[in-house]
């Protein structure tokens, strides 16, 4: 396998691991909405915690994308 092929494979694996965070985001939102439906009194607190959790989870995907770009163009 050539150097370019190894870089492409490494970047693809990196992005694939980063996209696993999409599953995490869907779980966060799903369980938050479920909690809001079960206990509407704490909906405001759950919503704010959900936004923080989704932002942290989304940063994982962004870091994976940045690493993949660095693999392709820098290394």
The domain ranges of the chain are 3-73
Q: How far apart are CA 72 and CA 15, in angstroms?
A: 12
Mean pLDDT along residues 59-73: 92
The pLDDT tens digits for 8-57 are 999 999 999 888 888 889 999 999 999 999 999 999 999 999 999 999 99
Q: How far apart are CA 58 and CA 2, in angstroms?
A: 32
Alpha carbon distances (Å) from 41 to 30, 38, 44 = 18, 9, 8
Overall CATH class of domain 3-73 = mainly alpha
pLDDT at 68: 92
Contact 66, 5 (CB under 8 A): no
């Amino acid at each position: 396998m050539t150097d370019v092929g190894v870089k492409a494979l490494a970047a693809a694996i990196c992005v694939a691991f980063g996209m696993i965070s999409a599953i995490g985001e869907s779980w966060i939102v799903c369980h938050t909405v479920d909690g809001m439906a079960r206990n509407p009194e704490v909906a405001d607190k759950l919503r704010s915690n959900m936004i923080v959790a989704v932002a942290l989870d989304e940063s994982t995907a962004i870091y994976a994308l940045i690493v993949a770009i660095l693999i392709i163009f820098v290394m």
